[in-house]
Amino acid sequence: MSARVRVIGAGLAGCEAAWQLAQRGIPVTLTEMKPQRYTPAHHSAGFAELVCSNSLRSDRLTNAVGLLKEEMRQLGSLILSCADATRVPAGGALAVDRQAFSETVTRRILSHPLIEMICEEVSEIPQENAVIATGPLTSDVLAEKIASLPGLTTLSFFDAAAPIVSADSLDMVKVFRQSRYGRGDDYLNCPMTREEYTAFREALLLAEKAEVHGFDGSQVFEGCMPIEVMAQRGEMVMAFGPMKPVGLTDPRTGREPYAAVQLRAENEAGTMFNLVGFQTRLKWGEQKRVFSMIPGLENAEFLRYGVMHRNTFLHSPGFLDEHYRMLSRPTVYFAGQMTGVEGYVESAASGLVAGISLARELLGLPAVDFGAETAIGALGKYVAKASGDFQPMNANFGLMKPLETRIRNKQERYAAMAVRSLNLIEGLRSNPLACDFE
């Protein structure tokens, strides 16, 4: 009998990890603090509780999360199997009857002969053979223990992220590449005239803001000040902050612009760019409307909108590898939203990878490299290797390795990337060393 693994947390990621381990003959003790104790967001005693929407988003292969779901189906995902069994009509999206979905996951977990269930709150980190999947509202006691783990530089309690846009969607007639003071060309710049800046500030002041769970609206953290708060503080605050034009020369005019929004590459391939200093708590529709006023971003595709909310997540680069394994404790894994993935499907995907990887490690089998050509592999590589200000991320094609041959039409390009990905997944399934995905 193989060593028993402790999985902490029976959310989407924890249930997926426990299932993948048990399916490979590894006995599992799944520990969940419900119903003894609930977080502010949870209300049901069932596993894999969907606390927000009942949608797992698009099911189309030309959408990255749709591709991720199909990859997970091919890899034997419990969560996708249960979601497909409890789906409700939602057009091109996969939406579920949330109660039936949770009941189905709970029933399948409890009926597995190799999964033992314990209801209690965990306050200590296991030294080995564990998957920690306690979510963004991890209890304070356990969060303190996690924060003290070797190799972890920070454990964030507020997610203050700027929007990310697709490079392909930028108008490069208006945008120019240049770093301040001639120090290279690492940044893209969106120059603004005085009139454009004034109109943009006025739109920010009037835009509708989202409520932030656990965040006192009267309290502003200087290190992650929302751009709309800067706009409220005075007419030129943004122009002396993240929108300062100093050291830039607009090649179209030969002069310094009145203000400029800088974009910084989010990945090595340069397919994604974030809006530097544009942390925000505007509602997503308002972000699309207001930020599209920025010259060059009129038709921008937003891969991730800015968010600000309480969200316990690890600074995973340098702490976890692409399999979600602790670098300093090779048989302790993390999974779920706390690793820096964002969304139901992404959380379950991290649990799938963590469960498969730990099982194979305990069975003496080589790790599986899903590769940056797949959505599931690219997500793990982002968590392990992202540079700069690490923030939670949804699955998107910008994370994936670009095609060798450029395809200008976006839908055709995404379709080709999906075909490449699923072919690679099929290759893994037919590999004798990776044949445990059925």
Which H/E stretch holds residue 32?
strand 28-32
Q: Which residues pair with 228 in a beta bridge?
A: none
Residue type for 49, please? E
The whole-angstrom distance between residue 411's C-alpha and the CA centroid of its chain comes to 22
| pTM for the model | 0.75
Q: Is the pLDDT of residue 2 over 80?
A: no
Q: What is the DSSP track for 247-293?
A: T--BTTTTB--SEEEEEEESSTTS-EEEETT----B-HHHHHHHHTT
Place of tokens 């020369």: 249
Q: Residue 303 corresponds to which tokens in the numbers above?
A: 């891969």
For 154, list phi and psi in degrees, rounded to 5. -145, 150
For 407, list phi and psi in degrees, rounded to 5. -120, 115
Closest CA to 311 of 269, 287, 343: 343
164-305 has the same fold as 5-161+309-434: no
Q: How high is the pLDDT of residue 304? A: 85
50 neighbors 344 (Cβ within 8 angstroms): yes
Rounded to an integer, the average pLDDT of 55-75 is: 95
Question: Which phi-psi region, left, alpha or beta, contains residue 322 (left: φ > 0; alpha: ψ -120 to 50)?
Answer: alpha
Rounded to an integer, the average pLDDT of 252-269 is: 89
337-382 per-position pLDDT tens digit = 999 998 899 999 999 999 999 999 999 999 999 999 999 999 999 9
CATH class in words for 5-161+309-434: alpha beta
Integer Cα distance of 302 and 164 in angstroms: 6
Domain topology for 164-305? Elongation Factor Tu (Ef-tu); domain 3 (2.40.30)
Closest CA to 98 of 33, 137, 34, 43: 43
Q: Select the more confidently predicted residue: 158 or 92.
A: 92
Weakest-pLDDT range from 44-48, 131-135, 296-300 = 44-48
Integer Cα distance of 35 and 57 in angstroms: 28
Question: Which phi-psi region, left, alpha or beta, contains residue 155 (left: φ > 0; alpha: ψ -120 to 50)?
Answer: beta
What residue segments make up the domains of the chain, in order of their start? 5-161+309-434, 164-305
**SS3 assignment for 107-141:** HHHHHCCCEEEEECCCCCCCCCCEEECCCCCCCHH
The crossing angle, in degrees rounded to 10, of helices 344-362 and 12-23 is 30
* Per-residue exposure over 256-291, b if at least 16 CB sit within 10 Å of its own CB, e if not: ebbbbbbbbbbbeeebbbbbbbbbbbbeeebbbebb
Residue 220 confidence class, pLDDT cut points 50, 70, 90: very low
Q: Residue 176 corresponds to which tokens in the numbers above?
A: 């120019």
Closest CA to 336 of 16, 34, 118, 6: 16
Weakest-pLDDT range from 110-114, 210-214, 219-223, 352-356 = 219-223
Q: How high is the pLDDT of residue 3? A: 87
Q: Is the pLDDT of residue 49 over 50?
A: yes
Closest CA to 253 of 197, 185, 172, 174: 174
Q: Is 52 helix (H, G, I), strand (E, B) or coil?
A: coil
3-state DSSP percent of the chain in helix, strand and coil, to 5: 35, 20, 50
Q: How high is the pLDDT of residue 137? A: 75
291 neighbors 163 (Cβ within 8 angstroms): yes
Q: Residue 306 corresponds to which tokens in the numbers above?
A: 């800015």
Integer Cα distance of 341 and 324 in angstroms: 11
Q: How high is the pLDDT of residue 277? A: 87
How buried is 218 (Cβ within 10 angstroms: 0-12 exposed, 13-18 middle, 19+ buried)? exposed
Weakest-pLDDT range from 70-74, 103-107, 279-283, 415-419 = 279-283
